[in-house]
Chains A and B, each alone.
Chain A
Amino acid sequence: MIQQTVRDLARDKIAPRAAEIDRTGEFPWDVVDLFRKHDLFALPFPPEYGGLSGSALTLNLAIEEVAKACATSALILAVQALGAYPIMLAGSAEQKQRLLPDLASGKKLAAYALTEPGAGSDPAAMETRAELHDGEYVITGSKIWITDGGVADTIVIFAKTNPKERAKGVSAFVMEDAQSLKGFEANTIHGKLGIRGSNTAELRLDEVVVPAANRLGKEGEGFSIAMRVLDRSRPGVAAQAIGIAQGALDYAVGYAKERKQFGKAIGEFQGIQFMIADMEAQTAAARAMVYWASQLIDDHSPDVTHHAAIAKLLAGDAAMKVTTDAVQILGGYGYVNEYPVERMMRDAKITQIYEGTNQIQRVVIARDLLRA
């Protein structure tokens, strides 16, 4: 039901905007309004906080549908969930009641600030400090590659409350109305290869004050919160990736039916057929894995970490391969921005990088296997 609604919305309202969003690189506030109007931000939230379902599977179906048309727009949905998950997972009843309804309605946008210039795949090496003074935390440091960091109101930030420790020294905090906080500065990063309309920012925090009431969980629990969030958000990024792959595959199939060479449609040549079949198989396999991982989240299964990492790895790699092959099937037309597949190829690349690079996913998966 929701899948069909989102599919129609993506086709009718978002697909026509996708090329322009990519060309201008401007954050698509009209898409945010569209999501608000159709209550799509509510998907990851449970009903008691103004949400619709709270189901990861439902959310990820929606992300996939939007990503078929526009990866930038899909990321807006995914990041709203990413920024809200720490609160849902570790927030007190009071924090959830106070913070979640505005995120579920989309009145406020959320972001998740973990990565630092010197702490990417190794987040426990982070240097941002949070010091407790008279019931308030004073946070100083910098974060980078923060999606929606320059537009979000509610930003969950991870900082060391004990700099002598690695993972155990990390705590999580919620910055409300972040853009207007004293000492907070967000610099939007321009010149990205893909997802160009998405807001990606560098955050600088110079003695930003956050009330102790906005610490999520106990001091030192931040790293565990961050990792549990990634278990949930990786299938979301994977859903974005299979949406990008499916969008490119659909376009390539349509083209192969229409484009005639040597007196017949190029789809009648086995060389093209085999490419299309392999694109379908990789996309379908990644999709089956994404749905499986999403279902495990909804079932509160302990196997989520492993399955989520596999879903992310396969979906990102499939998106890159399938979009590259789609460009190939379109030939010269695939290489120019009059057609959408070169954008899809550029958009696909980030899905192998963020939410843990695919190299890190392999480490996560292999360590699980090798644990005796």
Chain B
Amino acid sequence: MSTEAVTAPALRHRITAFVRDFVLPNAPAMARGAGPQPKHVVEAAGEAGLAGILTPVRFGGAGGSHLDFVDFIEAVAAADASTSVILDVHVSVGTEPIIEFGTDDQKTRYLPRLASGELLAAFALTEPAGGSDAASLQTRAIHDGDEYVITGTKTFITSAGAADLYIVLARTGPGTRGISAFLVESGWRGVSAGQPFEKLGLHGSWTGELVLDSVRVPAANRLGREGAGFGAAMSALDSGRVGISAQAVGIAQGALDAAVAASRARRAAGRDVDEVALADMEAATMAARALTRHTAAMVDAAQPATLDASVAKLYATDACVAVAHAAVQICAPESTSEMHPASIRLRDAKASQIYEGTNQIQRVIIARELLR
């Protein structure tokens, strides 16, 4: 195995081929919820050499940058958002915390299998009573010898029921400094997932409850120090928001492409075209892309990116819903069909304003940073 990171052009080539050969052909089925299951998606990404795009080469990954990562997610999302959310969660919040905070032992045990697509990762922070207020989480981890015993319920977990490895945030003490992170395997006794929710969109991805009932987790699977979990989660979310921004750019681009195609056909038939709407859609999509790439470059340069990541997430996801909505209007009446590319994008887009911190929480984060 080479120890050199895969070059950016080589990664772009892999991304193009993966989108062409796997994502696009499966996109219509994914949008109906009848496509390849999440496990199959990550296996295919692993075969394409992309499931560990951010993972260092010595742990079996591609050693790519966050700029490569956003290119990857954007390109996949432009073709199919369900596939992109599965891979975004796997690569960013599912794998990155291990890269950043894992012990050598944890990295050796998990990173190569995550990068090859053998394992699918998920991130379990949100609870029924702790959404935007993540620090209020109630899942408990009680230290017992060489193990922790974890009990609690997580919800809105992407890939719940499909994932092999969950990064679980649980309480080892009071306050935000009483939160720790654990690597929990799906096969362990007491781990179960509910049926995937029936969602507005993203029908090809699974979202559901994760129940932990006295799950015994070896202390060797605690990620980072005891009490360092909240900081790790927030750090993961900074990068995760960059991924969600890239996904939003991709969805917007997919919707815009549909609107442009429909507008060309209208013009060819001698009918009027809404140039103003198209220009505003293009401008919003491009600015979202510029912000996303700017933020990815900051993460790559190890600069503090909390504010920039929130700004990118807010702008890109608001833009993506507005662009998808406008695309449905431009593509009418065909777009009233639920399987029209524009209507699929509108359904898929909506989630991006909600997850990884609602856009209302992003506004609070941004204002607090500025008003400090």
Decide: A363 near B275, CB < 8 A? Known: A284-B308, A285-B315.
yes
Which residues from A are CB-within-8-Å of B314? Answer: 277-278, 281
How many chain B residues touch A (Cβ–Cβ < 8 Å)? Answer: 34
Contact partners of A363 in chain B: CB under 8 A: 275, 279
Interface string of B335-372 (1 = CB under 8 A from A): 00000000000000000000000001011101110110
Q: Report the bound CA distance from A103 to B59 in whole Å.
A: 57
Q: Are B282 and A256 in contact (CB under 8 A)?
A: no
Contacts of A256 in B (CB 8 A): 371
Q: Which residue of B lies closest to A290 (CB)?
A: B290
Contact residues in B for A362 (Cβ distance below 8 Å): 275-276, 279-280
A244 on the B face (CB < 8 A) = no
Distance of A360 from chain B, by nearest CB (Å):
10
> Which residues of the partner chain B approach A307 to less than 8 Å between Cβ atoms?
286
Contact of A280 among B256, B276, B370 (CB under 8 A): B370
- Chain B residue numbers with a CB within 8 Å of A288 are 287, 290-291, 293-294
Contact assessment for B362 and A277 in the assembled complex, using a CB-CB cutoff below 8 Å:
yes
Tell me which of B275, B294, B311 contacts A366 (CB under 8 A): B275
A257, A361, A370: the one contacting B263 at CB < 8 Å is A370
Give chain A's interface secondary structure class. helix
B232 at the interface (CB under 8 A from A): no
* Stretch touching chain B among A56-64, A123-131, A161-169, A268-276: A268-276
Closest-CB distance, B312 to chain A (whole angstroms): 8
Q: Is the CB of B371 within 8 A of A276?
A: yes
Interchain pairs with CB closer than 8 A, number: 108
Given A253-B371, A276-B370, A314 and B287 contact (CB-CB distance below 8 Å) = yes
Q: Do the beta carbons of A372 and B264 come within 8 Å of each other? A: yes
Minimum CB–CB distance for A361 against chain B, Å: 7
Given contact pairs A276-B366, A284-B311, A289 touches B287 in the complex (Cβ within 8 A): yes
Q: What number of A residues sit within 8 Å (CB to CB) of B?
A: 38
Return the contact of B367 from the options A273, A289, A313, A367 (Cβ within 8 A): A273
The answer to whether B283 touches A310 (Cβ under 8 A) is: yes
Query: Which B residues lie within 8 Å of A32 (CB)?
Result: none
Q: Inside 8 A of B287's CB, which chain A residues have their CB?
A: 285-286, 288-289, 310, 314
- Scoring B287, B311, B363 by chain A CB atoms within 10 A of each residue's CB, the highest score goes to B287
Contact sample, A vs B, 19 pairs, CB 8 Å cutoff: A257-B371, A265-B371, A270-B364, A272-B367, A273-B368, A274-B367, A284-B311, A286-B287, A288-B293, A307-B286, A314-B283, A365-B279, A365-B283, A366-B273, A369-B278, A370-B260, A370-B263, A370-B264, A370-B275
Top 10 nearest A-B pairs by Cβ distance? A273-B367, A362-B279, A288-B290, A366-B275, A277-B363, A277-B366, A365-B279, A285-B287, A267-B371, A281-B315
